A and B are shown apart, each in its own frame.
Chain A
Amino acid sequence: MLDRKIEDIARIVGSMTPAAYPDPAAFPAVNGDLADVFEAALNALCGPDDDQPAVVRVTDTTEAIKTLVELCADVPPTEIIWQDTSPGESRDAEPVLPRDHAIGITGAVALIAATGSVVLELPSALAGRASLLVDRHIVIASRDQLLPDLAALYHGLSQRVETGDCPPIQVCITGCSRTADIEKMLVVPAHGPRQVQVILSDEPIDWAVLHRGAASLH
């Protein structure tokens, strides 16, 4: 059926003048320090009731742990869910019925400076919960993960197709979950997190150290 239909389409297309595939568009250069651009972009996306900064800058893993513990103060570990990004270690191996948590903690595979976006790769359905079924989503990431714009992200992804290295699911998250369906009034949250906070480290994050240091949050 599918093949036959594609044959039919080939016949239609055969009578059309073929249009050429265009060159990539040139995106304007992102000026300034990418971390600053990212911070400004994400802060601009805060919900109306958000009084906390969207980006907390730290120097290294040790400081990231300290900040994380502070951000999670007064929240019991049972109300915290992690999406583990450390290789070879999966904290969501056990199938658990999904439920809402107060805080979800994830890493990121990239940050997009121009748009204030956080890019996650989700190896499993359960991994998605920490950025979805939570009130606050805390992302721990580092400077070396910053990309200037969406062009860098999607051109990079295209290159990974050839090596068969595409992530099962990638989600590019830009700010909190929101809706403006009722009279175009912005409401936060809709179905997902009310807040996305990024702990942005100058040095790359050592996840093994971070997990040990933040053991009280597990």
Chain B
Amino acid sequence: MWSFEQDSRERVADTGLADKLHKATVETSLKKTNALIAKMPHWQQLRERARQVKLHTLTHLDRYLRQFVQAAEANGATVAWADTGADACRQVVDIAQSSNVKRVAKAKSMTGEEIEVNRALQRAGIEPVETDLGEMICQLAGEPPSHVTAPIIQWSMEEVARLFKSRGIIDEIPNGIDGRADPAVRALNAARLTDAARRALREKFLTADMGISGANFAVAESGTLVLVENEANIRLSTMLPPVHVAVVGIDKLIPKLADLATFLSLLPVAATGQQQSGYVSLIHRPYAKLHIILLDNGRMRLLADAQHHDLLSCIRCGACMNVCPVYRHVSGHGYHSIYPGPIGAVLTPHLRAEEHYKQLPFASSLCGACAEICPVMIPLDERLLQWRDRIVKAGGRPRSEAAAFAAWAYLMQHPRLYRAVRPPAGLAHAAAGMLGPGGRWKATRELPPLAAETFADWWKKNHA
């Protein structure tokens, strides 16, 4: 079984990784996000409203799904249902084959990643082309994205240049791309690499027979799909090809177009520290042949979870990843899930059956920064703790750990006994590193040095 603890040890040891992630989050996105929030007196009110709209939608999801389907069909779209990712992929491939599609332009979509639609298309002999710069790089490198809004967050420019050269996208690796080079030269080189990608993808856009996207929101009252981006690749993927397939999780529903005022004031701020994203497309009456595939893939099961159904209100901004000290040390790949970070740690064990995902709720320091930044106010720290409780109660953690904590709890509640059995501090420190569960606990943590004297003794001496 894959072990988060084992796997993350290597990632944590790679201090270069933590450096890159820190720069990309704390020093850039997060800084911009916080600066904008400071200028928004209505930030809290918007968050509260967003949470309430999502909870309202989830507790009336049947009504809003029915309304959405009716409106979208009246607008000319074909709406279908997929129970699982495999089911959705089969439908996408069927649509592609019946339209004689050879090449697909793919808009960046986490739902597309979740169902692994590229693999299904390839197996059917259809070429999927990722068109977001970061996703294109992931596809060329054959690795999954590492962040929901910044897919190649831990890649250096040098690594991108080497990849582009090996794939013939650039002829030569330009000078001045390493971290020590002149920032102005590096900026120029980032533009060069982006331009090379733009040129390589342009022809693919113009010749794609089908576009595949997700949706940031699906508006029930009007049957509208809402797509948010900065690069314009989603517009190109959804508006140029004659067929557009949108794979939309049932969690994307919102009641009204007016609700976009709330969500589109929160999402770009939380995601990228932008007041507004470059392009917000509202596809109402499509001019391409539009197929909407509504995806369950575990979401209905989660909806039925009285304690956790609010995880379906996530808008995939990635802010919880940016603030998470664990994410910033192990990266998105450390979670082995397409949804990493705090939201991934609580969502993945719901959406995926594999036992090893039950380790993810333990991949947190419970600092609560995620809950504080979450634009839709999901109490992520509580959800993490509840997952731990469930897993422990189901016997999912070693018995020795449970016994140790039970003993600890008993001692803490019985001060006389505690004082009687308490070993000298130095010995306790050494013992913590040797005992079974204590050893495991200490293996991933650094204990501060213990004082020679206990606080109780010190107090007795100085204040009694």
Contacts and interface: CB of A to CB of B under 8 A. Distances in A.
Interface of A: 1-2, 5-10, 12-13, 15-28, 41, 48, 97-100, 112, 114-117, 122, 124-125, 128, 132-133, 149-151, 153-155, 157-158, 161, 166-185, 187-193
B221 A190 contact: no
Given A16-B309, A179-B133, A192 B235 contact: yes
Interface in B43-94: 45-46, 48-49, 52-53, 55-56, 58-62, 65-66, 69, 79-81
A174 B258 contact: no
User: Which of B157, B206, B275 has its CB near the most chain A CB atoms (within 10 A)?
Assistant: B275
B262 interface: yes
A175 to B, nearest CB: 6
B281 A184 contact: no
Given A19-B56, A169-B239, A169-B283, A178 B231 contact: yes
Interface residues of B, number: 94
Interface in B407-440: none
7 contacts: A13-B59, A16-B306, A16-B309, A25-B46, A125-B288, A150-B261, A177-B279
A105 to B, nearest CB: 17
A117 B186 CA distance: 30
Interface-central residue, B150, B201, B284, by most chain A CB under 10 Å: B284
Interface of B: 20, 23-24, 28-29, 41-42, 45-46, 48-49, 52-53, 55-56, 58-62, 65-66, 69, 79-81, 131-134, 137, 150-152, 155-157, 160, 186-187, 190-191, 193-194, 198, 201-202, 205-206, 221-222, 224, 230-233, 235-236, 239-240, 250, 255-262, 264-265, 272, 274-288, 294, 296, 300, 303-304, 306, 309
Given A5-B296, A8-B300, A174-B278, A158 B52 contact: no
B232 A192 contact: yes
A132 B300 contact: no
Contact of B69 (A2, A48, A157): A2
A151 B263 CA distance: 10
Interface of A is mostly: loop
Contacts of B288: 125
Contacts of A175: 278
Contacts of B157: 182-183, 185
Given A150-B264, A158-B221, A174-B276, A128 B235 contact: yes
A13 B261 contact: no
Given A154-B264, A161-B257, A190-B230, A125 B275 contact: no
Given A41-B275, A157-B258, A166-B222, 20 more contacts: A9-B65, A9-B300, A12-B303, A15-B306, A18-B59, A21-B255, A22-B49, A25-B42, A28-B41, A97-B206, A100-B202, A125-B240, A150-B261, A168-B287, A169-B283, A173-B279, A181-B133, A185-B157, A191-B202, A192-B235
A154 B231 contact: no
Nearest to A119: B280
A173 B278 contact: yes
B120 to A, nearest CB: 20
Closest 10 CB pairs of A and B: A192-B232, A190-B231, A10-B62, A181-B134, A158-B258, A19-B55, A168-B285, A151-B261, A22-B52, A174-B276
Given A19-B59, A183-B157, A190 B224 contact: no
Contacts of B193: 182
Contact of A185 (B48, B62, B190, B231): B190
Given A9-B303, A13-B61, A181-B134, A190 B233 contact: yes
Given A177-B231, A180-B272, A12 B304 contact: yes
B281 A187 contact: no
B46 A1 contact: no
B261 A27 contact: yes
Contacts of A188: 191
A116 B276 CA distance: 9
Given A16-B309, A171-B281, A190 B235 contact: no
A10 B61 CA distance: 7
Nearest to B301: A12
A16 B261 contact: no
Contacts of A181: 132-134, 137, 150-152
Contacts of A177: 230-232, 278-279
Contacts of B255: 21
A27 B45 CA distance: 9
A150 B29 contact: no
B257 A174 contact: no
A190 B133 contact: yes
A154 B95 CA distance: 33
A122 B258 CA distance: 20
Nearest to A167: B284
Contacts of A184: 23-24, 28-29, 150
A173 to B, nearest CB: 6
Contacts of A149: 261
Contacts of B276: 112, 115-117, 150, 172, 174
Contacts of B250: 9
A155 B259 CA distance: 8
A114 B265 CA distance: 11
A184 B153 CA distance: 8
A25 B262 contact: yes
Contacts of A180: 28, 150, 230, 272
Contacts of B275: 41, 114-115, 174
B109 to A, nearest CB: 15
Contacts of B232: 132, 177, 189-193
